[in-house]
Structure 1
Amino acid sequence: MHERALGTLEFDKVRERMARYVACSLGRERMMSVAPFVSLAEAREELSAVDEALTATLRYGTAPFGGITDIRGSVQRARIGGLLSVEQLSAVAAWLAGIRALRQYVTRLPDSSLYPHLVAVVESLFPGRDLERAIREVIAEDGTILDRASPELQRLRQERRTVEARARKLLEQMLRTESQRLQEPVIALRGNALCLPVKVEYKNSFPGVIRDYSASGSTVYIEPRAVVEQGEMARELLLREEREIERLLLLLSQQVGACAEWLEVDVESVSMLDLWFAKAAYAKAEGCELPVLRDDAGWQLRRARHPLLAKENAVPLDVEMGENYRMLMITGPNTGGKTVTLKTVGLLTVMAMSGCFIPAERGSSVAWCEDIHADIGDEQSIEQSLSTFSSHLRNIVDMLRHVRRGHLVLLDELGAGTDPGEGAALAIAILEKLAAVGAYVVATTHYAELKAYAFREPLAMNASMEFDIQSLSPTYRLLIGVPGRSNAFAIARRLGLPEDILARAEANVSTEDRRLEAMIAEIEEARRRQEKALTAAELSLASAARMERELSEAQETFDRKAEERLQASIRQADEILRKARETAETVIAELREKQSSLKDHELVELKKMLAPVPRSDLGKSATRKQGGSSGGLRVQVGSQVKVHSLGQKGEVLEVSGDKVMVQLGVLRTKVDLADVEVLSNKEPLTSTSRVRGSGLDKTVRMELDVRGETVEDALQRIDKYLDDAVLSGLSRLVIIHGKGTGALRDGIRYHLARHPQVKSREPGGLGEGGDGVTVVQVRS
């Protein structure tokens, strides 16, 4: 892509803004060289990597780049065998610690499969833990050489400290004995020598070596003869210490040189990571979104903003081009935003092709262009004595030599700067040439001829920058499909130009121009009506959506409260059942004690009658009006009723106020009148018979259901059932056992065939259940 086009679009300023978010100089250097990629695949890969960095930043915070500096100079010096300083080696160690932290940040991201680009880069980084450890064993983080760096260094430093301690002890003694000849009682260090500040008048009588004078000359710093020997020893040890340190630094430099190739590769990788995270940080700060790069040509920018304008001040633009038309003719008043729109389309295209998020709504798409050509602004060259028209024309001539199919061409004020008629004709010819080549064109103009050209050319579309005639100011909104009006007469009339002058001016306008202006006015009026209708429809839709949401919330609240009431009723029913079971267990225990003739299987049957009612039935009964009746029947002695709290049917034996005594099988219990429902005031149904005897009063049904039971349990119930049937005088019974595998059916029929009380047995007839039931004739 031509650098001239990037400069015209001011892409360098966009790069400078994004560079504010880099973490180190490596990232800044890479950011300032950002440019459109050569291929669409590369640009898409870059956008995916930036999207990963943004996702990681939003979820887990900014990536750590602490300790990352430019170490390329140090690495190159070590590669050729040079000696690195303590600061350079410490920077290398900090670098290795920094990339380790960076690696940990990425590898510890939950679901690392979401970040393939980040993971691939950090996994390729040189671990360097051994090199970092080797440096830190010699150099502390504050840059000092550690005593433990080597046994020799530790020994030399210990000896030097011992010698200096002896010298200092001698000096402290002299401070007490020679205080009269000293300027002040302190020990001063001059160079590597420990000295005493002697008054200048005593310098010849004070034995020692003069090391320095004060600025005023009144004090002379003398190393006493008694400590000169100790000082010489200390200085010799210091020299040997420095040689040992140099040896250690050389060894570390050689280790860095051995890793130079990996470190240089790491520099490139880390700078790329810094670039990705900086682009992500810019996108986060500026409200940018991931663009869709299309290879089938086409721009769909939704609420796009110029990246150099403050987002709170920029007016969003909607731009479409490429699918139904390849050229967009933008007209409108001066300072109305035409050039800004032109640059917005160009800059957002460059940003997307450079792997950057764009300031537009998510889902905005940008066509991939192999090149962008731009002729924008007044480039009049005084030195070359070129007019504005000549300058623009020279740029266009150069552009036409290089433009190819699929290129994007941006033209500002096409044909301006010369005779309007000739300029318009030349502009149309240039547009026709670009259309023939197959380029995409966005052009701004004031010429009415270009508006007409866009009307008749299928590949072109008019657009305009909206102008508020009431306030005489632009709104900076781009209107696709609507050509702009000059508004010259309207503005002049609002500013007070006499009507007679306006009338003569309007008379001088050609009929065709007046017809064009009238047509544009009608289009604008139709657009305004459409916008009002659309606004009204959107408001109605929003109101309907709000009402639907409120209704849904009310329904949810109602359902929740109903469920809460149901659960409360179920809990209440559970409590009633619990108390009833406890009462029944007590009664059965008393019956067992008082009536020894009561059989065990009868007690089992009674307990089954007291089994908990299913929750679904409880839910229903909880909402049913208690104490109800069927057909308006009253509760009276002999009434067949259902006790809701126990889920059992029985006969009323006594009515006393709001209490009734009910016979439930062998169990008699007193319940609330409101807890019973009258089923019938007649005698028991013909399908049942009553058995009286042994102190028991039982209802025997004409059928017995044993489905789902084991053969042993079923036979035990059948024997008891046959006994009750004989006592009640029933001659025909029905046993329901189902079909299933046939084991229960065969076991029952085999047993009935040998039962002394069974006269005959046969499968059920048509309408009775067929082979799923057995009809039994009982001996009389």
Structure 2
Amino acid sequence: MDERALDALEYEFVRGEIARCAQTSLGKARAAAMAPYDERGAAEHELARLDEAIRLLYRLGPPPFAGVEDLRDAVERTRRGGTISADEAHRLARCIAGMRAMRQFVERAAESGNFPLLAGSVAPMADLRRTEQEIRQVVDEDGQVIDHASPTLLRLRDERRRREGEIRAVLDRLLRTQAKYLQEPVIAMRGEHYCLPVRVEHKSQVQGVVRDVSSSGSTVFIEPRAIVELSERVRELEVMEEREVERLLYQLAASFAQVADEFLRNLDVAADMDFLFAKAAYARFTDAKRPQLTDGVWRLRGAWHPKLGRDAVPIDVEIGDRFRLLIITGPNTGGKTVTLKTIGLLTLMAMSGMFLPTRRESEVGFCHDVFVDIGDEQSIEQNLSTFSSHMRRIIDMLARVTKDSLVLLDELGAGTDPAEGSALAIAILDHLTAVGARVVATTHYAELKGYAFRNPAAENASMEFDVETLRPTYRLLMGVPGRSNALAIAERLGMPKAILERARSHVAESDIHVEELIGRLEAASREAELVRDEARRALEEAEERAADLARQQAAWEAAKEAMREKAAREARAVIDRARQEAEAVIREIRSLREQAHVKDHELVELRKRLEGAEPKERRKAPQGQGRPEVRPGQRVRVLSLGQKGDVVEVAPDGKAAVVQLGVMRMKVDARDLEVVGHGEPAGAPSAVRVRAGKDVRMELDVRGETIDDALLRIDKYLDDAVVAGISRVVIIHGKGTGALRNAIRRYLREHPHVKTSEPAGPGEGGDGATVVHVRT
């Protein structure tokens, strides 16, 4: 295909739009390299695949392409015997998983629907799950080599961590014993060395190696002698660890090289599918229709240029059946060039296997070449005029044109003497007609209007112009040549009648009759189009109503079935939860019976859990009652669910509220709420109200509470901390007599959620608080 034609018809714009719809860099690259197919069969096959892709897009959405990326450089490196990094290995595994997910998505869709071409497109993909597993045995999801990748690596890392622990223990001891010599009690890193910041006047008191001096000279950074050997061993272990990691990655790259061809084939299929679904997404965005490829016949119905969008005036154009030559006339800025570009660009899109921006299904002739002469490309370097540059392109075109070509000529013969220009234009059109090519030409020459009347292979068309408003309507009128409109426009603008009469006297009588005839043809054509549009609108309205009724019936049936399934699922879930909770309570009661110290509050809590496990009957709001007033902090029951929760937030209009139901928050209609109590008052002694998820704080204050109340709150707090995934919390109990503190610490040592507990440090309350490490 002639690249000049692609540029002149703005084919690059379509490439860019498709690239924007692609999800991967591979798909974007395919879009940037898109070109029309050379064979009609290939274009029709692509149109059929695109049809399936659009139907799948509407039904299930786009396939997943997460993780799929261009990794050909890393693959080629493995094929040449090179190695890969841990991050590259992770990306290769993620890419394999992403391509497998895409393939499975298409195959599942093909099982439930009619998508044979899509299923055939992904059929050549190889199953590389074993390769992915091999990579995951070495590299984790964060792109790091795991400890268990080899026994040697595990041993080296365990020893390094042990040595580093010894270094930290020595440094902690030195911080305590040498604190009076230090500038501040911290560990400073100088390069790879752990150092103590020692005041310069006491540097002789700390045994070790000076690694650095502060800019003021008041502080020297000394690596203690006690950890020098340990640090050297740690660095030696790090070097050995790096070598082991390099060995593992090299071995992994060698293994991957054996499946490199299969991986690249999968990657090529993934790029093709991303490109295909990008075209499908663009077709859905523009509401495009599938064209039918023909042997040299164009019937575009309601077409518009993609760059103008659906706000453009659609055109109906036909060529190749009754006539092979279409001559379009009309005023400047009336849309002739846009019409020419629309015909050419939509032809290229159809030949590229794309749907077209048209109101209805259209026909496009498949051609081997598209020749274009559009625009004013005056060449300064070659000292060529506008006419000369046009002639050079036309001469080159005439040497290559065949009967399977589409030729688009803008302002044919312009830029020279009108008489010679029109004569040359007619001669060129005669030659193209004799060759058998399909030609669309725009012109201002009146002689070409008559040429179209005389030539049985030609047809006139014009861009409509509204003489009343003196503006073009951008509508294409087939079979009607364009009028000059010069005298009519001058009259509307106020030209004196005497001058107009004198001008009309210079116009040949035959030309006046032709203008009148064209005017009557335009009026008749507009009337016929109005009738046709009314009939089309009536048909479309009837079809839309029928489709809407069918959609409503289908939606009603689906909603009814969904409600039935949802009710059944909810009933089963309530029964299962109740059974599980009851069994858990019974087990705990049996366990407590066997213990000698059973507390009342524990039995009360178990009884509440057993009562709460009973399925509640769904209740409706009482008839005749107004909407209850709910406020943040209130305890409420959600009537439709039969569950209690706390009001977190109330809508400004009071019609809805956000309720915390255990670990879940949901927005509920206020009419579906029943106030059963109030939340904690603002001045409660507790420093925190424990909630699930992100609302669980890092500390709990139980000072001033009884032992039983405090233990009950701590038990609930630890449950919430486990749910929220918090691994370290602080219980503030105060010092006092020590009774509350001792009871809490005894309780924590036996609690199943507690890994370890210890008194808090000086900055966290000292002996008045306990640090708890929670099992998460």
One-letter identity of the residue aligned with 1:424? S
Question: Equivalences for 1:473-492 in 2 at 5 Å?
Answer: 473-492=471-490
Identity across the alignment (%): 53
| SS class of match (2:21) | coil
Partner of 2:6: 6
Partner of 2:373: 375
| SS class of match (1:343) | helix
Q: Distance in 2 between matches of 1:60 and 1:290?
A: 20
Q: 1:224 to 1:117 in 2, by over 3 A?
A: same
Q: Distance in 2 between matches of 1:110 and 1:539?
A: 37
One-letter identity of the residue aligned with 1:523? L
Deviation at 1:530, TM superposition (A): 3.0
Deviation at 1:149, TM superposition (A): 1.3
Partner of 2:125: 125
Question: Equivalences for 1:45-60 in 2 at 5 Å?
Answer: 45-60=45-60
Deviation at 1:251, TM superposition (A): 1.0
One-letter identity of the residue aligned with 2:5? A
- Check whether the contact 2:196–2:222 (CA below 8 A) recurs between aligned residues: yes
Q: Which runs of 4+ in 1 moved over 4 A?
A: 213-218, 532-543
- Larger radius of gyration, structure 1 or 2? 1
| SS class of match (1:20) | helix
- Check whether the contact 2:375–2:410 (CA below 8 A) recurs between aligned residues: yes
| SS class of match (1:303) | strand
- Check whether the contact 2:325–2:457 (CA below 8 A) recurs between aligned residues: yes
One-letter identity of the residue aligned with 2:314? P
Matched, 1:433 2:431: yes
Q: Distance in 2 between matches of 1:319 and 1:218?
A: 89
Deviation at 1:533, TM superposition (A): 4.7
Q: Distance in 2 between matches of 1:387 and 1:112?
A: 63
Deviation at 1:217, TM superposition (A): 5.0
Q: Distance in 2 between matches of 1:488 and 1:88?
A: 71
One-letter identity of the residue aligned with 2:231? G
Partner of 2:383: 385
- Check whether the contact 1:195–1:221 (CA below 8 A) recurs between aligned residues: yes
- Check whether the contact 2:413–2:422 (CA below 8 A) recurs between aligned residues: yes
| SS class of match (1:170) | helix
Larger mean Cα displacement after TM superposition, 321-330 or 192-201: 192-201
Matched, 1:234 2:234: yes
Deviation at 1:130, TM superposition (A): 1.1
Partner of 1:267: 267
Question: Equivalences for 1:583-622 in 2 at 5 Å?
Answer: none
- Check whether the contact 1:375–1:396 (CA below 8 A) recurs between aligned residues: yes
One-letter identity of the residue aligned with 2:298? W
One-letter identity of the residue aligned with 1:377? G
Partner of 2:108: 108
Q: Distance in 2 between matches of 1:9 and 1:260?
A: 40
| SS class of match (2:264) | helix
Q: Distance in 1 between matches of 2:92 and 2:215?
A: 42
Deviation at 1:219, TM superposition (A): 3.6
Deviation at 1:407, TM superposition (A): 0.2
Superposed CA offset, 1:243-292 (max 9, x none): 11111111111112111111222222111111101000110111111111
Q: Distance in 1 between matches of 2:236 and 2:270?
A: 45
Deviation at 1:537, TM superposition (A): 6.2
| SS class of match (1:372) | strand
Matched, 1:300 2:333: no
One-letter identity of the residue aligned with 2:222? I
One-letter identity of the residue aligned with 2:227? V
- Check whether the contact 1:291–1:362 (CA below 8 A) recurs between aligned residues: no
Partner of 1:169: 169
Q: Distance in 2 between matches of 1:54 and 1:257?
A: 36
- Check whether the contact 1:112–1:119 (CA below 8 A) recurs between aligned residues: no
Partner of 2:256: 256
TM-score by length of 2: 0.68
Deviation at 1:147, TM superposition (A): 1.2
Deviation at 1:534, TM superposition (A): 4.5
- Check whether the contact 2:302–2:360 (CA below 8 A) recurs between aligned residues: no
Question: Equivalences for 1:670-685 in 2 at 5 Å?
Answer: none
Deviation at 1:119, TM superposition (A): 1.3
Partner of 1:497: 495
Partner of 1:340: 338
Partner of 2:416: 418
Partner of 1:322: 320
Q: Distance in 1 between matches of 2:434 and 2:518?
A: 28
Deviation at 1:114, TM superposition (A): 2.1
Superposed CA offset, 1:74-119 (max 9, x none): 0001110111011111110111010111011011115466222321
- Check whether the contact 2:477–2:525 (CA below 8 A) recurs between aligned residues: no
Superposed CA offset, 1:423-471 (max 9, x none): 0010000000000001000000011111100111111110011111111
Deviation at 1:502, TM superposition (A): 1.2
Question: Equivalences for 1:735-774 in 2 at 5 Å?
Answer: none
Deviation at 1:188, TM superposition (A): 2.7
- Check whether the contact 2:297–2:320 (CA below 8 A) recurs between aligned residues: yes
Partner of 2:70: 70
Superposed CA offset, 1:657-708 (max 9, x none): xxxxxxxxxxxxxxxxxxxxxxxxxxxxxxxxxxxxxxxxxxxxxxxxxxxx
Q: 1:134 to 1:539 in 2, by over 3 A?
A: closer
Q: Distance in 2 between matches of 1:52 and 1:540?
A: 30
Superposed CA offset, 1:123-176 (max 9, x none): 211211111111112111111221111111111111111111111111101101
- Check whether the contact 2:331–2:465 (CA below 8 A) recurs between aligned residues: yes
- Aligned match for 1:395, one of 393, 396, 404: 393
Deviation at 1:541, TM superposition (A): 8.2
Question: Equivalences for 1:360-371 in 2 at 5 Å?
Answer: 360-371=358-369
Partner of 1:88: 88
Partner of 1:669: none
| SS class of match (1:114) | coil
- Aligned match for 1:506, one of 504, 523, 534: 504
Q: Distance in 1 between matches of 2:270 and 2:374?
A: 37
Partner of 1:156: 156
- Check whether the contact 1:50–1:356 (CA below 8 A) recurs between aligned residues: yes
Q: Distance in 2 between matches of 1:213 and 1:101?
A: 57
Q: 1:414 to 1:135 in 2, by over 3 A?
A: same
Superposed CA offset, 1:487-530 (max 9, x none): 11111111111111111111111223222211111211222333
Q: Distance in 2 between matches of 1:251 and 1:276?
A: 37
Q: 1:381 to 1:65 in 2, by over 3 A?
A: same
- Check whether the contact 2:182–2:198 (CA below 8 A) recurs between aligned residues: yes
Q: Distance in 2 between matches of 1:542 and 1:14?
A: 29
One-letter identity of the residue aligned with 2:302? R
| SS class of match (2:331) | coil
TM-score by length of 1: 0.68
Q: Distance in 2 between matches of 1:380 and 1:217?
A: 75
Larger mean Cα displacement after TM superposition, 344-353 or 123-132: 123-132
Number of equivalent positions: 547
Q: Distance in 1 between matches of 2:331 and 2:403?
A: 31
Partner of 1:282: 282
Q: Distance in 2 between matches of 1:319 and 1:536?
A: 19
- Check whether the contact 2:372–2:409 (CA below 8 A) recurs between aligned residues: yes
Q: Distance in 2 between matches of 1:220 and 1:101?
A: 58
Question: Equivalences for 1:568-583 in 2 at 5 Å?
Answer: none
Q: Distance in 1 between matches of 2:244 and 2:150?
A: 9
- Check whether the contact 2:110–2:119 (CA below 8 A) recurs between aligned residues: no
Deviation at 1:191, TM superposition (A): 3.3
Deviation at 1:221, TM superposition (A): 2.7
One-letter identity of the residue aligned with 1:478? L
Q: 1:60 to 1:224 in 2, by over 3 A?
A: same
Partner of 1:452: 450
Partner of 1:619: none
Deviation at 1:207, TM superposition (A): 2.1
Question: Equivalences for 1:181-200 in 2 at 5 Å?
Answer: 181-200=181-200
Q: Distance in 1 between matches of 2:539 and 2:17?
A: 41
Q: 1:317 to 1:539 in 2, by over 3 A?
A: closer
Partner of 2:616: none
| SS class of match (1:109) | helix
Matched, 1:469 2:486: no
| SS class of match (1:272) | helix
Superposed CA offset, 1:743-773 (max 9, x none): xxxxxxxxxxxxxxxxxxxxxxxxxxxxxxx
- Check whether the contact 1:465–1:475 (CA below 8 A) recurs between aligned residues: yes
| SS class of match (2:448) | helix
| SS class of match (1:223) | strand
